[in-house]
Amino acid sequence: MSEYNRPTTTVISNAQNLLMEQSTQNPTASLIKEMVELAASIMPKREDEPIDIAGAIAELIGRYSVWIGQNSTLSDDSDHEAWLGSSRKKGWRYWPRYRDMLERKMPPAAIDALEISTDEVLGLLEDPNRTGSW
């Protein structure tokens, strides 16, 4: 991310929040432009720190122009018991907080891919509550 002044950074953040409300993983450049202009329109005008509209648009296009491939693993599943299901993940405190932080600078597709990959790696480890040796 390039360095922007505070008003431009606020516009980028607000526009990204608006884009996330649109429920689209891959917003078009025109939708990004529309959301940046909307976010900029509600900001107070300051001559000492003008909003860099073009920079904000370019930043968000860059954030949403990410391609994430499928992850792959090498593992030995002998004697492995799957343990990490959605019921096991309920009540986790740290991932939602971390996701909120990541959403400020990363596109949703990248965050979703990170969550899937992390769950897969964690699931390949053995259940810490499993008895016996493993």
What is the pLDDT confidence band of residue 4, given thresholds at 50, 70 and 90? very high
Quick check: pTM over 0.75?
no
Question: Do 52 and 89 reside in the same domain of the chain?
Answer: no
pLDDT at res. 35: 96
Q: Is residue 105 part of a domain?
A: yes
Q: How far apart are CA 51 and CA 129, in angstroms?
A: 53
Q: Give CA–CA dist 40/38, Å, rounded.
A: 5
60-95 per-position pLDDT tens digit: 999 888 778 888 888 887 888 888 877 777 778 898
Closest by alpha carbon to 73, among 118, 127, 121?
A: 121
Q: Residue 64, CB half-sphere, CA atoms under 13 Å: how many?
A: 22
The reply to whether 1 falls in a domain is no
Residues 39 and 78 both lie in one domain: no
Domain around 57? 6-64
How far is Cα 115 from Cα 30, in angstroms, rounded to an integer? 29
Q: What is the pLDDT of residues 32-55, one digit of tens each?
A: 999 999 999 999 988 899 999 999
Selected residue with higher pLDDT from 74 and 9: 9
Residue 76 sits in the same domain as residue 122: yes
Q: What are phi and psi of 133, to 5 degrees?
A: -95, 145
